[in-house]
Amino acid sequence: MAIEVFKSVAQSKKGTQVECDSRGHKFIIDEPKKLGGTDTGANPVEALLAALGACKCIVIKSFARKHGIDIKDLKVEVEGDLDTDGFLGKNKAAKMGFTNIKTKIYIESDTPREQLEEFIGFVNRTCPVSDTLENSPNLESELIIK
């Protein structure tokens, strides 16, 4: 067991703007105007999809050589379906979060398709963000009033 604790801090700014900080690496999350924000960054569900796409990229790059896989170029597109009627309170039966997430992995490679398909199967099983989405972690919440 080598349990490591990862951490991010989200500081709320004006309106829906949020500054996220992980070990000094900062980026802005906001909502687009049609969802009530000022559109100064990706929104939280887009950031979640970005995390998944980036995680698959990194697993692919980290394990390609060991698996004898050639990667000349790599891009991962991630699309998620979400019924915004849930969040907007228009439909109490709607699921609040994503119902479906589809990942398209674009690889430029000389490696045969069959070997690439097998490798991507390994990647999908190994990707930490993918696993977190597929096998729910325990979630805790604490309120601290200042």
Q: Does 31 bind a copy of itself (CB under 8 A)?
A: yes
Other C-beta atoms within 10 Å of 38: how many?
A: 15
Q: Does 65 bind a copy of itself (CB under 8 A)?
A: no
Two tokens, residue 21: 């900080």
Q: Does 120 bind a copy of itself (CB under 8 A)?
A: yes
Angle between helices 113-126 and 44-63 (to 10 degrees): 120
The site for a copy of itself, by CB under 8 A, has a size of 112
Q: Does 33 bind a copy of itself (CB under 8 A)?
A: no
Cβ neighbours for 63, distance < 8 A, ≥ 6 positions apart: 69, 119, 122, 123, 126
Contact 95, 80 (CB under 8 A): no
End-to-end CA distance of the chain: 36
Q: Which of 65, 67, 69, 128 binds a copy of itself (CB under 8 A)?
A: 128
Site for a copy of itself in 86-115 (CB under 8 A): 86-88, 90-91, 94-109, 113
Cβ 68 to a copy of itself, closest distance in Å? 16
Site for a copy of itself in 38-57 (CB under 8 A): 40-57
